Amino acid sequence: MSLRVGIIGAGPSGMAQLRAFEAARAKGADMPEIVCFEKQSDWGGQWNYSWHTGIDGSGESAHSSMYRHLWSNGPKECLEFSDYTFDEHFGRPISSFPPREVLFDYIAGRVEKSDVRKYIQFNTAVRWVNYDEATEEFTLFSQDVKTGESKTYVFDKLVVSTGHFSTPNIPEFDGINTFPGEVLHAHDFRGAERFGGKRLLMIGSSYSAEDIGMQAHKMGAASITLSYRSGPMGFDWPSTTVERPLVTRFEGTTAHFADGTSGEFDAVIMCTGYLHKYPFLPSDLAVNSPNVLYPGNLYKGVVWQQNTNLFYLGAQDQYYTFNMFDAQAWFARDVMTGKIAMPSAAERAADIQSWLDTQAALADHDAEADFQTDYVRELINATDYPEFDLDAVSTLFKDWMRHKSEDILGYRDKAHRSVITGTMAEIHHTRWINAMDDSLERFLNGPSQNMDTNAMATVDANAILAKGK
């Protein structure tokens, strides 16, 4: 009997797992029996944008936390698949920070070429999973979210790729029930147009607070106040943006902060992160972790320590995304097929502990980028995933962070060079701050610009545009 593999979720991680098996099949390996379950009607996970918030059109909790005008928050050169480059997909250089529709097109293009859609049961939510120690089999209960029909499947191996940026972490604040304006979590944010002229309070000091705050600035918010728990982000913000320590209490429209200051606000956005939530798994199989680069209990960040038939993809906080999911999927595939042997439980525990120790000592963001680079390298070295210059990617991450420090509104106008093809990105035809139509059509066919950027390693787009236009 061939290996039976269940994959839960057809976002970028689940799609990577399908591609990993297909890549081995193309080289002559047997294809296992695969069923991938996706509760939405299309693949792409977070990148499968929908206006739905709260509950989606099938009565399920809405998965996506994306917003209409989201552009990649890191350079595309850091997430490029080494087996399917941007050049291969678009046939020409594009800029380094594409909007979400463009990235969706890229990830979908790769799996369309691989003919793996046939393995996916769309509109199908996984409701529960049992593991039988004696037979070493998973029994999975699914439900068609449109018809309500339930089914049972049995698998030898199970891959959990349901993401962990969908279930909002919602803290309480004294008096917040008296706040008369809109209070929402970043998960439910779809666009900042309606915040034009408004005084916004964002709670949190990470990617969502930074980017939703700057989206609101772009859409004409009157003021943006960013309230932090651990420390300020410290970017060189526009003059209408300030950082304050944590809110201590609300009194109607007034928020009071820990430094004794207060302010009047029209709306509050909780940018307070997300919870790992696996309601379809018994607690002894479910990751229970804060959002960190190395959650405990996962050997090589992928294999469940107490049950090596269970795999997680994308469970960590992410500098690397798509190509890290690939590295994990190739690794998981080779463990499942026996090509990679599992060390003893004690050896796995020691390996996990050494990563946790290193993580605990990380001094700054540069060190974090190096940490995840080393992690991805270890996975790639263990498989036949096409190698690429990971040190060069780590340098790109550091350049990107430096660019953000220099110009939080302009870092997306920079261009970077692909470490895989050597192609220099195009300087985009429209600066991020001015780009209101971020459709694929406009991105690819917007006003042409005639600069030859191929000779430049990293280009200050602002300077060039200021001179040229």
Q: How far is the CB of 74 from ligand NA7 (least distance, A)?
A: 8
3-state secondary structure 124-182: EEEEEEEEECCCCEEEEEEEECCCCCEEEEEECEEEECCCCCCEECCCCCECHHHCCCE
Burial (CB < 10 A; 0-12, 13-18, 19+), residue 338, is exposed
184 forms part of the interface with ligand NA7 (CB under 6 A):
no
Q: How far is the CB of 260 from ligand FAD (least distance, A)?
A: 33
3-state secondary structure 209-277: HHHHHHHHHHCCCCEEEEEECCCCCCCCCCCCEEEEECEEEEECCEEEECCCCEEECCEEEECCCEECC
Among 15, 35, 62, 203, binds ligand NA7 (CB under 6 A): 203
Minimum CB distance to ligand NA7 smaller for 9 or for 204: 204
Minimum CB distance to ligand FAD smaller for 10 or for 461: 10
12 forms part of the interface with ligand NA7 (CB under 6 A):
no
Among 246, 275, 362, 382, binds ligand NA7 (CB under 6 A): 246
Query: For residue 67, how many other CB atoms are within 10 A of its CB?
Result: 19
List beta partners, residue 14.
none
Q: How far is the CB of 326 from ligand FAD (least distance, A)?
A: 11
121 forms part of the interface with ligand NA7 (CB under 6 A):
no
Q: Which three-class secondary structure state does DSSP give residue 447? A: coil
Q: How far is the CB of 321 from ligand NA7 (least distance, A)?
A: 8
* CA-only gyration radius of the chain, Å: 23
Site residue total, ligand NA7 (CB under 6 A): 19
Contact residues toward ligand FAD (CB under 6 A) are: 8-14, 37-40, 45-47, 63, 65-66, 70, 72-74, 79, 125-126, 161-163, 165-166, 280, 314, 318, 321
Q: How far is the CB of 267 from ligand FAD (least distance, A)?
A: 18
Distances (CA, A) of 52 to 7, 61, 67, 189, 244: 24, 9, 11, 10, 31
Query: Are the C-beta atoms of 418 and 425 separated by less than 8 Å?
Result: yes
Dist CA 201 CA 173 (whole Å): 13
Minimum CB distance to ligand NA7 smaller for 177 or for 448: 177
Among 116, 226, 271, 409, binds ligand NA7 (CB under 6 A): 271
Q: How far is the CB of 171 from ligand NA7 (least distance, A)?
A: 3
Query: Are the C-beta atoms of 180 and 253 separated by less than 8 Å?
Result: yes
In the list ligand FAD, ligand NA7, none, the entry touching 295 (Cβ below 5 to 8 angstroms by class) is: none
Burial (CB < 10 A; 0-12, 13-18, 19+), residue 467, is exposed
Dist CA 401 CA 364 (whole Å): 11
289 forms part of the interface with ligand NA7 (CB under 6 A):
no
**Interface of this chain with ligand NA7, residues 313 to 352, rule: CB under 6 A:** 318
Dist CA 275 CA 104 (whole Å): 24
73 forms part of the interface with ligand NA7 (CB under 6 A):
yes
Query: Are the C-beta atoms of 271 and 209 separated by less than 8 Å?
Result: yes
Minimum CB distance to ligand NA7 smaller for 218 or for 333: 218
Minimum CB distance to ligand FAD smaller for 77 or for 156: 77
Q: How far is the CB of 102 from ligand FAD (least distance, A)?
A: 11
229 forms part of the interface with ligand NA7 (CB under 6 A):
yes
Minimum CB distance to ligand NA7 smaller for 14 or for 93: 14
Whole-angstrom distance between the N-terminal and C-terminal Cα of the chain?
65
Q: Which residues bind ligand NA7 (CB under 6 A)?
A: 73, 165, 169, 171, 186, 203-208, 229-230, 246, 271-273, 291, 318
